[in-house]
Structure 1
């Protein structure tokens, strides 16, 4: 059983990352703004299935891979730190773009298409891949049981937080878009805070320990 500290740490990291504009947020917000909340919810269901795919893959193989080839974790860890630092710079530099101002209108598509787009957007999202490959293993504890079991629990925490945040963002996308459009200072503050959080995560990832064996 994972500790409350591990669960809380994953929840905080996922909360911070979920609030950072990325492929999932941009896709869901854009769909909700241009095609309505129902379309956003269908897209969100695809996103949720994408999270489950990553969770099962992590529990089935990542812990074993890192235990057998420690250098693989180091490579993924450093790649993850570099990517998070890149995202941080993208948020902090002048001219950063908000997901609540989508470029152009999106043509309405079917529910099946919405679901598949939400799924593929999440599966191809490097932020989520690195979350499962490099961040979750940091919270594995020798006394908490097999690594695969801990990953399932930690991933469950991530999914609950991620889906909840994305749902709230998607449902309020149109209202937030209008609010931020006339408040550039608030928009700038959002970008600064988000970029700062990403920078912290990048540093933590680069300095993280090697995960426990499966």
Structure 2
């Protein structure tokens, strides 16, 4: 009884035009670097914006603190009770 051993196979599956795994990995790296770069630029722009406007900075700190405090209280209230020892 013969069977095909395709576990661990690295090829693209035999279809014509299918990208090799290294190309997919390279594409994932390129997309990841681009997204991280965009996040970095956005964070820098927001930091400069807030640095130049102290009122906005105070507002941002207040809103962020309120949201984090609310999440902390919600997590403390919704915490599951410990399991009973058997």
Interval of TM-score (by shorter of Structure 1 and Structure 2): 0.3 to 0.5
Of structures 1 and 2, the larger Rg is shown by: 2
More helix by share: 1
TM-score (norm 2): 0.44
Q: Which has the higher contact order (CA 8 A, sep 6+)?
A: 1
Q: TM-score, normalised by structure 1?
A: 0.20
